[in-house]
Structure 1
Amino acid sequence: MAALAPAAGTPKLLSAAATGLAGFIESRRLCLDTILGHAGIDQASLSDPVAPLSLDGYCTVLDLAARRSGDDDFGLAYGQQFLPSHLGLIGYIALSSDNALHAAENLASHFRFHQQETSTELIFRNPFYHLTYRIDDSRIAHRSQDAVLTLGMFCNVFRHCAGRDWCPDEVHLEHARTENWRSIEAAFGAPVRFESRTNALLFRPERAVAAMPQADPALLRLMCHNIKTLGFRKPAQSVAALAEDYIRRNIASGSVSLEGASRVLHMPARMLQRRLVEENASFADLVEQVRRVEGRRTLLEGKLDIAQIAYDLGYSEPSAFVRAFSRWFGISPLRFRKMHRIEGGRSRLQ
C-alpha cells in the first residue's frame, strides 16, 4: 500500500486509534450506528488499522458518546484501558524501543505519520521531560475527550515497562477544568494543570529508566519504515528543514555559514535569509537548534566525553558547549548525563 497523501479536508489519523471503540461504545448501551453516522464514520473502516479516519469525526464520536451516556469520563476510561499494542504501528514502535525514555522519543518523532495536523514533542525543561500532544487544526472543536484519551495511551506505554503503578509527576491539559477533574487526577495518579498551552505528561528522567520488556531493534527499524510507508506523508520539505540538514551534516567542521548553505541549496544568501524569515526561522537559530538536539542525543548515548561532543558540535572549546547546554536545559552536561542512567541501554533517537 502506498503512503497516504494528506486529504484536502480535515486531517486524518490511522484507524488503529479506534481499536475496540465500537465495543466500548456498545458497552455503554449506546446505539453505535447513530453515533458513528452522526460523525460521518463508516464502521467498516474501523477494522483496518491503517485505514484513514477523519480526526474531526473521531473526536466527535468521543464527545457524542460522552454526552449521550452522561459519562464525562468516557474518553478517559477508553484511554486508560487501551493497550499500546492496540495502537498499531505507532504502538509497536513504542514497545520495540529500548526503554521508557526511548519510547517517548519515538512517540514524539513518529506520531505525525499516525495522525495529521498534530504536534508531539519530547522536551526537557529541568527537572521534567514534557511529552506533549496537541491537535493543531483549529476547526476541530471537540477535543477534550481526545486529549485525556491520548495522554492515557501514552501513560500506558510507560506502565507497560515500569508497572501499573507508574504515574507522571504532572499532567497538563489545554481545556478548562471540568467537573470530573478528580477522576482525571485519580486515573493518572498526578496533579492536573488545566488551561495549559498544550496537553502533556511531565516526568523526571529517573521515572523513565525502565527497560522495555519486548525491546527489539530490528522490529523497531521495520515498524519505523512501515509507518513512514503506510502512514501519512510529511509535507514537502521546507527551506528551513533543508538548511537544518546542511547544518547537521557540516556542524563538526565549525564553519557552517549562511553563505555555505546558500551554495549547497543553490540560491543567493539574501534569498535564503528571506525564505527563512518567511518560515519564522533564522540561520543562527537553526544552528543552535541542531547543537541543542545533537548535544542532548550524544550525551544520552554515553559514548563520547563532553570535550569530544563539544568539538563535534563545532565549538572551539568545551566550556562554550557547557555554558550553552546549561542555558538550554538549566543543568550542566555532566549532571544531565548522570540523571539518565538508563536501564537496558542508552536512549537512542531513530
Structure 2
Amino acid sequence: MAVAPQMNRPMPVIASIRASVLAPLVEQIDRRSGKTDLLLASHGILRSQLDDPYAMIPMARYVAIFEEAALITGEPSLGARLGTLFKPSDIGPIGVLFSISGTIRAGFERLAKYVNTVQSATSSGVFEEDGNLVWSYRLEDARMWPRRQDSEFSVVASCQLVRSCFAKSWKPLEVHFEHLAPRDRSVLERIFRCPLKFGESANRIIVDGRDAARLYRQEDPALSAVLERHVAELVGKAITPDSISERVRALIGIYLGHKPITLPSVAAELRISVRTLQRRLAEEGTSLRHLVRETREAIAATQLEAHVQKARIAEVLGYADSTVFWRAQKGWSRRQG
C-alpha cells in the first residue's frame, strides 16, 4: 500500500501508482548512496517526475525499485521500517476515514473498500474466521515478484494506522505474509509482537474479534458521510469498472485457503444470483473453477520455485493434503501440454 497525495485525476487502466510515492524511498537512498539517479533511470524514471503530483508510473516499476532500494541501502527490512513512519494523512481522505472510525473493524472495512483510490490492481478485503477479523492485502499480478518490500510496508503501515488511531500498544493476533520467511525476522517480530506466518496465499492481519468490535469513539455521522461521498467519487474516477472475472479473481485472492470458494459464496459477496454469476463469467470466456485454478497455479509456481514443501503449498492453496495437490498439478501439466 503506497502513500498518495489527495488528487482527483483518474488512475489509468494499467496497474499504476503516483510517482511521488517514491519520495520516501529516494530520501533513504540519497542518505546512504550516490546511486539514486542511476537506480531511477534503470527503471525509466526521472527524479523530476517525483515532484509532479500527477505523474504516474507502472506498479511493476514501483515494486522493482522498492526491492532494489533495499539491496542498495543494505537494509532487507526497508519496507517494514518505512511502514512504521506511516500516518493517516499519507493516504488522504481514506486515512481520515480510518482515523474517525468508531471501531478497528470499521477502519479496516473502509481501508479494504477504498484501497484502489490509492493504487490499482490490488485485492483487499475483510472477513471473519474463528470469531476474529481478517484483513487481507495482495497485488493481483503474480508476475510482480519478488515484492517483499511492498508487502511488508503495506502490512506494517496498516498496523501503524491502528496504533496511531486506536491504541498505541495494540498488537495483532497473527500476521501473514505471502513471501517466504527472511533469514532475520527480528525487525518484524519487534514491530508486530505476535506470531508471524510466511508463504501464505496473501498478506493478512488477524485481529482479535473483541478488539475489532470495541468502540473507541462515537463517529460524527455528518463528517463520515461527507468523506464517504468524496472517497466514493474518487473510486468512480480512479479506474474503469472491473470486469466480473477481475472482481472474482480479487475475492479468490482474499479467501484462498481460508474460506470455501463456491459459486453461492462468491455470488453472495457480489450480491448477484448464482445464475447471473455463471452467465457473466461465461460471457467473458471463463468460469469460477478456471479462475481458482489460475490463482492456485500462479501461487504454486512461486512457492515451488522457492522449494517450499508440497504439504505446506497444499495447505496454503486450500487443498485437503499434498496428494490432492499432486493430482491437481498433473491436471495442470496435461492442459499445458
Q: Same fold (TM over 0.5)?
A: yes
Q: Specify the SS of the correspondent of 2:288.
A: coil
Q: Specify the SS of the correspondent of 1:278.
A: coil
The one-letter amino acid of 1:225's match is: A
Partner of 1:42: 46
User: Highest CA radius of gyration, 1 or 2?
Assistant: 1
Q: Distance in 1 between matches of 2:81 and 2:34?
A: 16
Q: Specify the SS of the correspondent of 1:167.
A: coil
Partner of 1:143: 147
Give CA-to-partner distance per residue, 1:118-148, whole Å, 9 cap, x none.
2111111013211111112122122011110
Between the aligned residues of both structures, percent identity stands at 22
Q: Distance in 1 between matches of 2:127 and 2:12?
A: 29
1:201 alignment partner, one of 202, 205, 208: 205
Partner of 2:192: 188
Q: Distance in 2 between matches of 1:244 and 1:173?
A: 27
Pairing 1:231–2:238 present: yes
Q: Does the C-alpha gap of structure 1 residues 240 and 29 become closer, same or farther in structure 2, counting only changes over 3 Å?
A: closer
Pairing 1:211–2:219 present: no
Pairing 1:108–2:112 present: yes
Pairing 1:278–2:282 present: no
Give CA-to-partner distance per residue, 1:37-67, whole Å, 9 cap, x none.
2222233333455543321111112111111
The one-letter amino acid of 1:211's match is: Y
Question: How far 1:276 sits from its partner (Å)?
Answer: 9.0
Q: Distance in 1 between matches of 2:145 and 2:274?
A: 43
2:167 alignment partner, one of 158, 163, 166: 163
Q: Specify the SS of the correspondent of 1:53.
A: strand
The one-letter amino acid of 1:122's match is: V
Q: Specify the SS of the correspondent of 2:156.
A: helix
Q: Is the 8 A contact 1:109 1:121 kept in 2?
A: yes
TM-score normalised to the size of structure 2? 0.67
Q: Where in structure 2 are the equivalents of 1:14-53 lying within 5 Å? A: 14-15=18-19, 17-18=21-22, 20-49=24-53, 51-53=55-57
Q: Does the C-alpha gap of structure 1 residues 49 and 104 become closer, same or farther in structure 2, counting only changes over 3 Å?
A: farther
Q: Distance in 1 between matches of 2:87 and 2:69?
A: 21
Question: How far 1:223 sits from its partner (Å)?
Answer: 3.5
C-alpha RMSD of the superposition = 3.5
Pairing 1:58–2:65 present: no
Partner of 1:3: 10
Q: Is the 8 A contact 1:36 1:61 kept in 2?
A: yes
Q: Distance in 2 between matches of 1:26 and 1:145?
A: 18
Q: Does the C-alpha gap of structure 1 residues 25 and 230 become closer, same or farther in structure 2, counting only changes over 3 Å?
A: farther
Q: Is the 8 A contact 1:14 1:51 kept in 2?
A: yes
Q: Specify the SS of the correspondent of 1:131.
A: strand
Partner of 1:91: 95
Q: Distance in 2 between matches of 1:81 and 1:63?
A: 18
Q: Does the C-alpha gap of structure 1 residues 92 and 232 become closer, same or farther in structure 2, counting only changes over 3 Å?
A: farther
Partner of 1:133: 137
Q: Does the C-alpha gap of structure 1 residues 2 and 178 become closer, same or farther in structure 2, counting only changes over 3 Å?
A: closer
Q: Distance in 1 between matches of 2:219 and 2:55?
A: 26
Question: How far 1:157 sits from its partner (Å)?
Answer: 1.5
The one-letter amino acid of 2:70's match is: A
Q: Which moved more, 1:55-64 or 1:218-227?
A: 218-227
Partner of 2:128: 124
Q: Is the 8 A contact 2:151 2:177 kept in 1?
A: yes
Question: How far 1:221 sits from its partner (Å)?
Answer: 1.9
Q: Distance in 1 between matches of 2:28 and 2:99?
A: 24
The one-letter amino acid of 2:216's match is: A
Q: Distance in 2 between matches of 1:257 and 1:138?
A: 28
Q: Does the C-alpha gap of structure 1 residues 46 and 115 become closer, same or farther in structure 2, counting only changes over 3 Å?
A: same
Give CA-to-partner distance per residue, 1:156-179, whole Å, 9 cap, x none.
111122232211111101111111
Partner of 2:293: none
Q: Distance in 2 between matches of 1:21 and 1:204?
A: 33
